[in-house]
């Protein structure tokens, strides 16, 4: 295994004795600090994960991914720094944990009986299902017994490989092999480009990747729901494990785990194949016409140009002559009044519209209550862009009246449809609003943004020599990713 960095022993100490003949031999041993104490003394939590959309990747504003955010939250809970470590391949994850090269692995690991013999799993935090994936146009597999010609390729050391091994032992004949180099996302891309016929993916990985490979389809489920959990080394020291148990109990009860799931999965449930293909076509044909305008406006107002472009696409499909029945016009669909307030009289000119929309969105974000943190702050501003700040205040009030948190998008979005119901909107200051439309508006922009980020290579991990420290999730700590 190629070693890129040097790790000090995590669970023990090394001592060199010189001149033993002249040094009295000590017959008693000082009590070693617990694993948790060592982590706090060294101010460093070393976590093994893998590069994928569901776990960890280099995003537009630094490291991202569900597992990354979750472990960052745990590091903040422990009040220590987080060091992310990635393996050369998936097959190396469990051995590195068992050999205590890291404190634990947070890599989207399914709890299996075979793995439980090697590592200790913490509390489960997500349920997934193994699914057989194929590309549209290929013969639809209806069962493993009736599988059309073609090889199923899966990641070596994965629960998918274990599942196929189990099925093949039970008199089911099909062709399959393991890949020791590729990850799950790469195998999905290979099914999409027809390099291989089938692969197996966890349901959470498929739903994220289907946006990028829209012709991929689920043939059928290969398993009942299975649980994901962190993997800890086995041993007598329970200090870190017990702290993780407390941590998961806390974030399940206070809603932080649900909020993380919404952040990463909440906007990708309803896949629109036709809309996805149309968007990709417009990326090639229309976006280049306005790309410089989006980048210049985003730079001027401290925004991500991909987000600004996603708003523009949701508003007009990047058609500068677009006009709605209500009279809003241009790429960013500004009203005449809003365009004038932003300093532009001709809202049909693309540069004017994009700059006006950027300035308006920047203003909305500034007016969002200070206690609302990112990324929820952006989602709130998007909803306000669609339906107005007054209606946003109304739905936040309704959210509080129902006992939910008005500062969290996961709670507020549940109550947006109430703005369309007379019994509720008549109690608000600004009255009726198309709340469901605002909800779809935000979710669509989030999807467009993700695709633009992926198209521009954002979800590609940087080379080891280029990895740097970034601000962490809801804290002032930093990460230093490395490779085992």
Contact status, residue 330 vs residue 322, Cβ threshold 8 Å: yes
Residue 305 is part of a domain; what is its CATH number? 1.10.530.10
Residue 457: pLDDT band with limits 50, 70, 90: low
131: left (phi over 0), alpha (psi -120 to 50) or beta: beta
Residues of the domain holding 149: 130-224
| Report for 151-155, 357-361, 468-472, 475-479: range of highest mean pLDDT | 357-361
What is the dihedral angle through the alpha carbons of 36, 41, 44, 47, rounded to the nearest 10 degrees? Answer: -20
Residues 409 and 320 in one domain: yes
Residues 332 and 422 in one domain: yes
- The number of CA neighbours under 13 Å toward the Cβ of 455 is 17
> For the chain, what percent of residues have pLDDT higher than 70?
87
Burial of 171 (0-12, 13-18, 19+ CB in 10 A): exposed
The mean pLDDT value of the chain amounts to: 85
4 within some domain? no
Cα separation, 254 vs 403, in Å, equals 13
User: Quick one: pLDDT at residue 171?
Assistant: 64
Residues 241 and 299 in one domain: no
Residues 344 and 420 in one domain: yes
Residues 445 and 305 in one domain: yes
Residues 283 and 407 in one domain: yes
12 within some domain? no
Residue 3: pLDDT band with limits 50, 70, 90: very low
2 within some domain? no
107-147 pLDDT tens trace = 999 999 999 999 999 999 999 999 999 999 888 888 888 78
9 within some domain? no
Residues forming the active site:
315
- At 375, give phi and psi (nearest 5°): -85, -5
Comparison of pLDDT for 170 and 229, the residue scoring more: 229
User: Quick one: pLDDT at residue 34?
Assistant: 92
68 within some domain? yes
Q: Which of 477, 483, 475 is nearest to 39 (CA)?
A: 477
Residue 171 is part of a domain; what is its CATH number? 3.40.190.10
- What are 168's strand-pairing partners? none
1 within some domain? no
Domain count for the chain: 3
- pTM, rounded to two decimals: 0.74
């Amino acid at each position: 295994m190629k070693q890129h960095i040097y790790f000090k022993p995590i669970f023990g100490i090394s001592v060199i004795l010189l001149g033993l003949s002249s040094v009295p031999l000590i017959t008693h041993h000082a009590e070693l600090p617990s694993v948790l104490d060592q982590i706090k003394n060294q101010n460093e939590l070393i976590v093994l994960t893998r590069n994928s959309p569901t776990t960890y990747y280099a995003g537009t504003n630094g490291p991202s991914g569900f597992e990354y955010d979750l472990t960052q939250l745990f590091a903040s809970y422990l009040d220590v720094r987080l060091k992310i470590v990635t393996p050369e391949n998936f097959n190396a994850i469990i051995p590195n944990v068992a050999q205590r090269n890291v404190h634990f692995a947070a890599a989207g690991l399914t709890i299996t009986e075979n793995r439980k013999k090697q590592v200790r799993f913490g509390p489960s935090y997500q349920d997934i299902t193994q699914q057989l994936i194929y590309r549209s146009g290929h013969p639809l597999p209806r069962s493993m017994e009736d599988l059309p010609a073609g090889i199923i390729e899966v990641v070596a050391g994965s629960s998918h490989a274990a599942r196929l091994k189990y099925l093949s032992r039970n008199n089911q004949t099909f062709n399959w092999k393991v890949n020791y180099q590729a990850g799950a996302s790469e195998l999905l891309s290979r099914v999409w480009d027809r390099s291989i016929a089938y692969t197996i993916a966890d349901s959470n990985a498929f739903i994220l990747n289907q946006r990028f490979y829209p012709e991929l389809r689920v043939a059928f489920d290969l398993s009942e729901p299975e649980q994901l959990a962190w993997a800890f080394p086995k041993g007598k020291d329970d200090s870190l494990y017990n702290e993780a148990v407390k941590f998961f109990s806390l974030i399940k009860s206070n809603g932080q785990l649900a909020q993380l799931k919404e952040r990463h999965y909440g906007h990708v449930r309803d896949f629109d194949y036709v809309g996805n293909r149309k968007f990709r076509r417009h990326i090639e044909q229309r976006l280049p016409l306005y790309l410089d305008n989006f980048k210049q406006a985003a730079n001027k107002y401290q925004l991500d140009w991909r987000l600004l472009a996603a708003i523009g696409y949701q508003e007009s499909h990047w058609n500068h002559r677009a006009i709605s029945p209500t009279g809003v016009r241009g790429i960013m669909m500004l009203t005449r009044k809003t365009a004038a307030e932003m300093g532009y009289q001709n809202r049909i000119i693309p540069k004017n519209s994009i700059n006006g929309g950027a300035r308006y969105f920047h203003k909305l974000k500034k007016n969002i209550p200070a206690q609302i943190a990112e990324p929820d702050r952006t989602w709130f501003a998007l909803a306000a862009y669609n339906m107005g700040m007054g209606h946003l205040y109304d739905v936040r009030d309704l959210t509080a009246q129902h006992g939910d948190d008005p500062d969290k998008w996961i709670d507020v979005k549940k109550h947006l449809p109430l703005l369309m119901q007379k019994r509720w909107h008549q109690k608000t200051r600004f009255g009726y609003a198309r709340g469901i439309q605002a909800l779809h508006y935000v979710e669509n922009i989030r999807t467009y943004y993700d695709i633009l980020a992926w198209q521009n290579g954002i979800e590609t991990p940087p080379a080891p020599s280029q990895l740097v420290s970034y601000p962490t999730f809801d804290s002032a700590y930093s990460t230093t990713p490395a490779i085992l």
